[in-house]
């Protein structure tokens, strides 16, 4: 049971890094009407995954004691 929190923490950490890397790797583009197209949804999703990684790491650490 303890290992599952550590695995969840690692998975959320990797997902967070992938979200931020995907945001940086995707170029911003303007269409003909001047509308900016950029994957802004990846930023809050990355922060959410980072928060979940910290919380699950904390739970794994507390369960270990």
- pLDDT band for position 2 (50/70/90)? low
Q: Which helix (H) or strand (E) holds 30?
A: strand 29-30
Per-residue pLDDT at 1 exceeds 60: no
- CA distance readout (Å), 31 to 1, 8, 23, 40: 50, 39, 18, 16
- pLDDT band for position 16 (50/70/90)? very high
d(CA 9, CA 58): 9
Q: Interior CA angle at 61 toward 45 and 63, to 5°?
A: 110
- Do 37 and 29 touch, CB atoms closer than 8 A? yes
Read off the pLDDT of residues 35-47 as tens digits, 9 standing for 90 and up: 999 999 999 999 9
- Do 35 and 65 touch, CB atoms closer than 8 A? no
Domain ranges (residues) in the chain: 2-25+39-64
The pLDDT assigned to 17 comes to 97
């Amino acid at each position: 049971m303890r290992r599952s929190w550590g695995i969840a923490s690692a998975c959320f950490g990797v997902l967070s890094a992938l979200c931020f890397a995907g945001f940086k790797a995707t170029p911003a583009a303007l269409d003909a009407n001047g509308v900016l197209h950029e994957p802004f949804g990846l930023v809050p999703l990355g922060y959410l995954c980072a928060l979940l990684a910290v919380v699950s790491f904390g739970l794994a650490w507390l369960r270990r004691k």
